[in-house]
């Protein structure tokens, strides 16, 4: 049975925590990529293609979830993530548009993924 992993409620999402979380290029790129996808799209962490160890990816996605930026569902043998788009837009209007703009300025998701691991 799928389990939704713990995450803050919408009104508990804190701007300072979100900004701290997004200070990491890999996490910022992850959120920007998810923001370009249809609502409720689920992806696993390795599907992004970041050239880092799986343990590092697991850590980054946990930080994103604990900040309230993504939801994660544990299916037992795999875990998927989706952007909490409505919650982020309600708390911080325009934030996702800024991240998508940065992604586009970086040359798109493939280039941003490669660059995020180099920083």
Domains present along the chain, CATH in parentheses: 3-105 (1.10.10.10)
Q: Which helix (H) or strand (E) holds 35?
A: helix 25-36
106 confidence band (pLDDT: 50, 70, 90) = confident
pLDDT at 117 over 70: no
Identify the CA nearest to 98 among candidates 19, 11, 7: 19
Percent of the chain with pLDDT over 70: 96
The torsion of the CA quartet 25, 28, 30, 33, rounded to 10 degrees, works out to -120
What does the pLDDT look like over 4-15, one tens digit per residue? 999 999 999 999
What does pLDDT average to over the chain?
92
Block residue for tokens 């993530």 = 81
pLDDT of residue 113: 75
Contact 112, 31 (CB under 8 A): no
């Amino acid at each position: 049975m799928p389990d939704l992993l713990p995450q803050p409620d919408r009104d508990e999402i804190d701007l300072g925590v979100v900004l701290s979380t997004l200070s990491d290029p890999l996490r910022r790129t992850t959120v920007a990529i998810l923001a370009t996808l249809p609502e409720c799209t689920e992806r696993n962490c390795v599907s992004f293609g970041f050239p880092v160890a799986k343990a590092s990816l697991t850590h980054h996605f946990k930080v994103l979830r604990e900040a309230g930026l993504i939801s994660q569902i544990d299916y037992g043998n795999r875990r998927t993530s989706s952007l909490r788009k409505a919650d982020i837009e309600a708390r911080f209007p325009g934030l996702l548009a800024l991240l998508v703009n940065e992604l586009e300025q970086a040359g798109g998701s493939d280039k941003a993924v490669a660059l995020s691991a180099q920083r």
